[in-house]
Structure 1
């Protein structure tokens, strides 16, 4: 690989040009727009009906299953 052997003045000019290019790119407006809609979770996030009344017993029985 070759490296750039620039004088300090050339380096300052290079950095100034790169800074101007960066500002130009950051101010550029896009021609397309993302069409994203928020995700709606209207469903209840609860335990299924068969396990609601005896959920603790269900967890204990599963623990005993593996022991």
Structure 2
């Protein structure tokens, strides 16, 4: 979870990209889903959220030109 927090905060100090808000919302959504899965004791679903969002990061980074 700390990785996604660091990505959310580091975006404000990196070079601004066209997909800034999409990536920011993506990382916040990942954090929220992980928190709810932890609070609800649904660790398997939390692991699935991590897997899906990590795979989506690859396509989000490549799809929009800098």
Classify the TM-score, shorter chain. Answer: 0.3 to 0.5
Structure showing greater radius of gyration is: 1
More helix by share: 2
TM-score (norm 2): 0.33
Q: When the two structures are superposed, what TM-score results if normalisation uses the length of structure 1?
A: 0.32
Greater RCO, CA 8 A, separation 6+ = 2
